[in-house]
Structure formats: C-alpha cells, structure tokens
A and B are shown apart, each in its own frame.
Chain A
Amino acid sequence: METRPLGETGHDSTVMTFGAIALNWLEQEGANQMVEAVLDAGVNHFDVAPTYGDAELKLGPKLRQHREEIFLGCKTGERDYEGARHRLERSLNRLGVDTIDLYQVHGLETQDELDRITSDGGALDAFREARDAGTVEHLGLTSHGDPDLILDAIDRIDDLETVMFPLNPVVVAKDDTEHDYEAVLERANEENIGTLIIKAFARAPWPDTDELPEEDRPYANWYHPVDRPDEIRERFEFAASQDVTSVINPGDPKLVSMVLDAAERFEGMDEAAQRSVVEGARHEDSPVPQQLHH
C-alpha cells in the first residue's frame, strides 16, 4: 500500500489509516481477525480513542503481538493537565503498551477548549510531559468543528505534528467558510503538518429519528455513509488524491474491508474526475430537480 510522510514525524503512513473504533462492535475473535486483515493489506497506521467503547481493549492483544508494525495514534478529550494525564495512563493500560506514537487532542469544538488546552495546566502540558518521558512520541489534534478554529489551533500550538479533520466531495462543493476544510489542508501542508482525513465516506446526515429511529439505522456511524463498493472506491480515490497523508475508514466494521480494497487498489484520480465527483455531490442537498446542466 502506498505510503506518504506524516508531516515531520519521520513516519511514512499508509494512505489508509485503520480507525480501530470498528473493533468496538466485534467480539474479541472477530476483532483479532480484523486487525490481521488490516495488517495483511499493509496498513501501518492505526487510530483509536478511549471513548470508542472497548475498542482499546479489543485492539490490545493484536497490537501487542504486532507492536513494531503499527504506528499507533490515540487521543484524549480531556482539556486539562490532570484529566489528560490520567486518560493517557488509562489508555496505555487498556492497550497494554509502553508508548503511543501519536497522542491527539480529541474533537476540538470551541475556542474555550482551545484556550484551556493551551493554557498553563492545560492538556498540552500533560502531552509534552509524556513526550519528555518517552510514553508519547508526537502531538496531534483532531476536530470536525469549525475550520477557522482548526486554523487557529495550528497557529497556537507550535509543536503540533498532525491534524485530523473532515474532507469529502460534499464539503468541497460548498464555498462558505463553515465548510472550508480545504483551507485547513492548505495551511497544514504549508506548515508540513501531517493530515489525516475523516468523514471521507459520509453521504448525508441520518433522517430525523421520527422517520428512522436510532436503533433502526443500518450502520454504527453517526452519519449515513456511502456503502456500495464503487462509491467507497470513488470516495477513497477522491480523498487520497487531495494533498493529504492518509484517509481513515468509517467506523462501522461492515465497511472496513471495502475501504481496505480501495486503498490497496488506489491509483490516483485526475482533476477532471475529481471535479466530476464534486459536481455529483453538489446537488445532494437540493431536492428541487431543476438542474439540467453542470
């Protein structure tokens, strides 16, 4: 599988990152099999978080068996020093490893949170302390929030080495700043920060729960993912053809093998075909069938 430099970390990540949240919905035996399948496909970058049910525990056995083959990303949603320090200890214990290669601020959503993590006694103090102690190698941040907030975080965290954010044809088709994750990608590349892409396979929000109760949703994702092999392939080709480091699978385990297949067959999408995908997504929000042209 193709690899690309992950910013300045010195690690070359595969063009697909395994989002280990998928293990949460599997029994241990199935989880072991999935990790083996992911490694067989050549994936060398895994990502997990303590909030993904018991994904850390289920990843543990195979992670320990193959520790040298896996660049491990983990995260914490804690914003203060004490919370982050405890959460890191807990993740190391649950995963059963001594080090985490990439430790990330999880799900940054507000300016206030950014203020807290960057202040004295903030979460980043715990990250840096762990880096000095050798339990963490690199620092990253994840967000599906406002692109401006992510840009601000890049400005304010000097030692940020990776950023994880959404990118897909639906957001690329929208021009407003609220959806301008392309600006994040551009800035990250200027700063040589590694870029990890989430929501590459999002089709649309789920219908209202009145129309489709949560327990009747066919996938574990909190959005409706694309789910046909040709669509998955197209979305992967599109995302990985942007100037990004790596693309993460959607969380539902039923979709993982299709994403692995797309990643193994990745060949790159030319610009006319990328525009075709964006154009196809441009009218998805528009139910009025009056658009005859492109």
Chain B
Amino acid sequence: MLIDDRGLLSLDLFAATLIVLMTITSMVAITGDRLVNVNSFQEISCAKILAENLAQLIESVYSGGEGYETTYKMPSNISNSPSLIIVDNSGVYIHLNGKMGYAHLIPMKIAYGSYYGPGRAILRPDESYKITNIKDQYQMTYIIIKEI
C-alpha cells in the first residue's frame, strides 16, 4: 500500500522514488546519446559501403575491356539524408551531411557525359547512370559515366 490509513507516504517510498528517478534521468542521457551515435555510425557505414561498391563497379567495367557497360542507380537517400558522389581520376568521393568519405580507384581516366577527356562525374540521388568502357581515337581507355 503506497499511502497508509492516515494518508502519509512512507519515507522509504520517498527515498526509493528519488533514487529511481535519478537513475532513470541518467539512463535517458546515456541511452539517448548512444542511440544518436549508433544512427550516425549506421549512416556513415552505409555511405562508405556505397562509395566502395561504386568504386568496385567502375573497376569491374574497366577490367571488362572495351565496350563493357553497366548501369548504376543512386539511392534516393542514406538514412533520410541525400548523398552526392563525385568520381574522378583519384577515386570516388561521397558527401553526406557535411561529411566526406573516399573509396580508392585504380588509376584510370574518368569522363562524364559525352565529353572525352579527363573530368569528373557527379552522381545525384535517385538518378541512374550508364558506366561504359570506351576507347577514343588514340586508343586511350576511358570510363564514361552518363546519366540515363
């Protein structure tokens, strides 16, 4: 019984409630912080995996030889945040929520659209791209990334 016959709360109950409340308060701070960290880690892990997968795809197109092509669809978001990928000769760069990650690419010439020449491709959320291995008139191999 929480309240005795005379309507008085016991001191034990008061002390126990106080300790429980203090413990819950501290637990809320710790678990809240932990949840934020876990979500943040999930977000950057997904972004990193996305960049690594795209780098792997581009390398497979490169090693596939002239004429090899594949399509790639950018996801609409990563944990509800839009991401942007930039591919150039030095690698694959992913931008997410003011942060940036990188996936290594073997040395190759990257071109964007119908322009044959060293450049960089910008891949936007929810768009599809065709990645093609092409040789130009000087027999230089280019990886062309074109929006479809």
Is chain B a partner of chain A in the same complex? no
By a beta-carbon cutoff of 8 Å, the part of chain B in contact with chain A is none
